[in-house]
Structure 1
């Protein structure tokens, strides 16, 4: 009997054949077919002139998507969290004061990453489902004098968007760098990097950009780039020239060292990693789709389709979660009705209708569902089929949803001013 480890195996895993599921949760969503096609084209070497040309394309395209003139606008290989971590570990040294705005699951993530970087963290928080009081942020910044203020623009755990422009002005007044996590909002809400005065903004492909998770667009202001550059050649314990703090420490991560990644994306093309070619192709096509549709038109589509979903849910007699004056365009929270098993509803949506909707985190576990209308899934048909399916499942679970009310309300909303542009 052949017992070689290289002998043919029996019972190996079957070829991939996932169900054709409609992903209507808070992300990821179904990737646009053009993005999937872009991921299937031939690979090139990381220093091939054709490939570095595609890298330059990405830099130019994402400047427009981020609404910025920042030279340093590029991709970090990894999920959206890779972009977040690269930003914070590259900006923060041990002992640096930082103010973190936290009103949801991903504000807590910013706090954790900043603490792991050794920063002295001050948290300004608010109940989940509300926005943070700008006066509380102002008081903390005046008291702490932080090197960085870190915030999440739209936190999908709560479906609420924080007012960023006022916070950006505040940071400039007090010479603090502003970091913004725009993972869930870029290309679906107005992420106006230069107008806000934001210094570092990161995102991911798997929400409004309409791609798969695995690449993190990032943009850095000249101020942030200069801060990172001062740490480029600093040996541990030796002060960096020009560092106002009088100390200086090398960036502790190698993979997430933005100074090294910038050397790779810059003119010198110094080796740092092997660029994830298929993900770069995906990110490039995501940005092309956004700009073909037009950024303003795309944001308006997310606003209008998201509002139609919310109108349909209300018409079904459901209560929306959180301060609706500050609701994100692209994801809505729904309070689970009394007596309804939220996880049974999600399971029936998936098994009977091939539709995924989301639950939530922390204090909202078992209390709300979250439904997204993002990227390629931000369309009339996806809204209508999701509302129809949810109505059928709720009625099967014994909750008396008014027949057809949700679909009718969404149709009225959409037919009142439908945008005919590309669904990217």
Structure 2
């Protein structure tokens, strides 16, 4: 069989991830390869760590990417601090809370969960009350839940965790780089991000940051596994429960050594992906965090204006809406997948469906990173309106794009970097 040159179709990607990659990031990936211990490359590693601290809004010593998609970062942190039998509390308000539960259970945690309806988030006090009740070692929760388009407030939970001696681990994959998340100010102990969403970098790395409280546990476990613990009772207990870190690739203590000035060899760094991440972070900092957050809010509002003018209804609690994901109820009598298929095949636009109890009931439109642009918002509104009219949906013709245009002409768009 003869294979042709790679030629992927041009798409307008308006999903909650992956999103369109900034052209400057794509160009950076063609930069020549150098060795992973070449001073030119280790300098890039240092720059990436510095830029990640700025984006995470933290002074943490440790901020670096785990090679792998977002889930690798989540699992690396959890597997490196969970010991068999540890109590972990997980508030679930969508699909990815269940993912946290599965990962924690695989590493032997005693998992306690609380749940609220999909489309809602928790009152922070309810989580704090559960922390007091369960007394967990770890609170693991999602910040921006892409399956429901909702965002969990965190600012009061962090101080409560610190008071209770609980570690707060946050999945910020869908929010970092697009939504304000103040790691130090909110007293979050560890945060996991993703490259393929608001950072507008291809999937393949999971930026993480964590503080001294997490590092202390990581280092203590490392001493125990090496048989040099000074606490003999702890050593015997861990030997008996087989609670050693089971992953070599995702062992944070080993990754620390690799990213430290010691540069202890652990794996071969994903060179071109690190180039991409560096450029993606540089673009974010060039734009400015506050300006970037405002840009996401601005285009989200334009999209909502057009959606509602069309006569469609948003899903979920508006007060808890995630700015980077807009969930829309599928009109009665409309096949959600036929609409998505026509958008993709006829317009080259991809939007997302949802999962579990929301399967076939909502569409999810992502306005993240480089995909969060006026031309994309207007294009998806016009195409969605035309597609719904083709399928005889009961909507208001000609309203969506006009309403969004009115919004754009009557409001000042935050300035952005020009490619």
State TM-score, norm by structure 2.
Answer: 0.96
How big is the shift at 1:380? Answer: 0.6
How big is the shift at 1:250? Answer: 2.8
Q: Write the distance in 2 (CA, Å) between the matches of 1:242 and 1:286.
A: 47
**1:292-330: per-residue Cα shift (whole Å, max 9, x none)?**
000110011001111111111011100100001110111
> Aligned match of 2:150 in 160, 172, 175?
160
Q: Write the distance in 1 (CA, Å) between the matches of 2:337 and 2:59.
A: 45
Q: Which residue of 2 aligns with 1:352?
A: 346
**1:259-317: per-residue Cα shift (whole Å, max 9, x none)?**
00000000111011000001111111110000000011001100111111111101110
Q: Which residue of 1 aligns with 2:259?
A: 265
Q: Which residue of 1 aligns with 2:110?
A: 120
Equivalent runs, 1:25-424 vs 2, <5 Å = 25-235=15-225, 241=231, 247-248=237-238, 249-415=243-409, 416-422=411-417
> Aligned match of 1:23 in 8, 13, 19?
13
Secondary structure at 2:248 match in 1: coil
How big is the shift at 1:408? Answer: 1.8
**1:112-149: per-residue Cα shift (whole Å, max 9, x none)?**
00000100000021111000132331222112211110
Aligned length: 414
Is the CA contact (8 Å cut-off) linking 2:220 and 2:229 kept in structure 1?
A: no
Q: Write the distance in 2 (CA, Å) between the matches of 1:165 and 1:244.
A: 34
Q: Write the distance in 1 (CA, Å) between the matches of 2:303 and 2:314.
A: 11
Q: CA, structure 1 residues 242+85, in 2 after alignment: closer, same or farther (shift >3 Å)?
A: farther
> Aligned match of 1:12 in 2, 17, 21?
2
Secondary structure at 1:164 match in 2: coil
**Gapped regions of structure 1 (runs ≥ 5):** 1-10
Secondary structure at 2:388 match in 1: helix
Higher mean C-alpha displacement, 405-414 vs 29-38: 405-414
Higher mean C-alpha displacement, 114-123 vs 221-230: 221-230
**1:66-92: per-residue Cα shift (whole Å, max 9, x none)?**
000001001100000000100110111
How big is the shift at 1:244? Answer: 8.6
Secondary structure at 1:337 match in 2: coil
How big is the shift at 1:417? Answer: 2.2
State TM-score, norm by structure 1.
Answer: 0.94
Q: Write the distance in 2 (CA, Å) between the matches of 1:411 and 1:247.
A: 65
Q: CA, structure 1 residues 380+16, in 2 after alignment: closer, same or farther (shift >3 Å)?
A: same
Give the alignment's Cα RMSD to 1 decimal.
1.8
